[in-house]
Amino acid sequence: MNKEFHQLENNIAGEGFLPGLAVDTVIFGFHDNQLKVLLLAYKNTGLYALPGGFIHDNEDVNEAARRVLQSRTALTNIYLEQFYVFGNYSRYDPGPLKAIMQARGYNPPADHWLLKRFISVGYYALVDFTRAIPTPDEISDSCDWYSLNELPALMQDHQQIINKALETLQNELDQKLIGFNLMTEEFTMGDLQSLYETILNKKLIRAAFQRKMLGLGILERVAKKWTGGAHKAPYLYKFVSNRLPADNS
């Protein structure tokens, strides 16, 4: 969804957009030792949904996802990757979009392009929670972070999309060095370990974790962090370079 929903709505044939194809983006953040995802609440409908959008007919699909990500977070240069195409016929359900349009006082014709079957390309993004500026679109009441373990009821198969995104993140966390994208600029080793433990949903051994992370040679010690606690102050670390995937679609 972008800010010009009335344009999509009145554009009954969907001119200028790829028909039947959308992107949905699972935007992960990390805060208060919890994994969060960004969700939109649709006006009057009680429905929650992933940030998604349609693809301009002269736009790269990956670019469309990046545009969606940017319009909901005001962030650029973010870790963003495809993870799955949701293309089962059983997910075809024009109900939600119809309800949204009707709640706006618009009664779409039966052959309206937005009511046709859509295939969705799933993306996941890893963002710095503190830098994202959640921004609702024209048809949503809110754009907010929700903890993964207390999500509201979601539109269509968006819960499954989130589940699969998390699975992918868990699998790719070790191989690719992508966890850092969820951290703030500076962080302690404890912060980082907490992130890993939350994503992987298991305890890690402190000494081994620290040894491994330092061994990667991608962390730089910046300063010490005096928290006020009655104990040795931890170092603050900085990630030396962003890990963004190459786009070779």
Partner DNA sequence: CCTTATTGTATCAATTTGTTACAATAATAA
Partner DNA sequence: TTATTATTGTAACAAATTGATACAATAAGG
Interatomic CA distance for residues 14 and 112, integer angstroms: 8
Fill in the per-residue mask, 223 to 242: x = in contact with DNA (CB under 7 A), - = not in contact. -x-xxxxxxxxxx-------
Does 200 interact with a second copy (rule: CB under 8 A)?
no
Question: By rule CB under 8 A, what count of residues binds a second copy?
Answer: 28
The minimum distance between CB 23 and DNA, in angstroms, equals 35
- Residue 241 token pair: 């370079």
Binding mask 11-50 toward a second copy (x if CB under 8 A, else -) reads -------xxxx-----------------------------
By C-beta, is 109 or 229 nearer to DNA?
229
Does the protein bind DNA through residue 216 (CB under 7 A)? no
> By CB under 7 A, is residue 189 in contact with DNA?
yes
Residue from the set 9, 24, 29, 62 that interacts with a second copy by CB under 8 A: 62
Question: CB under 7 A: which stretch of 10-18, 156-164, 177-185, 202-210 binds DNA?
Answer: 202-210
What does the per-residue mask of binding to DNA show for 131-170, with x meaning CB under 7 A?
----------------------------------------
Residue 165 sits at the vertex; the CA angle it makes with 161 and 167, to the nearest 5 degrees, is: 120
- Judged by beta carbon distances under 5 to 8 A according to partner kind, the member of DNA, a second copy, none in contact with residue 189 is DNA
The answer to whether residue 211 forms part of the interface with DNA (CB under 7 A) is yes
3 touches, from DNA, a second copy, none (C-beta below 5 to 8 Å by class): none
CB of 219 to a second copy, least distance (A): 25
* List of residues 6+ apart from 142 with CB closer than 8 A: 40, 41, 136
> Which residues is 37 bridged to in the sheet?
28, 146
Provide the binding-site residues for DNA, judged by CB under 7 A. Answer: 188-190, 205-208, 210-212, 214, 224, 226-235
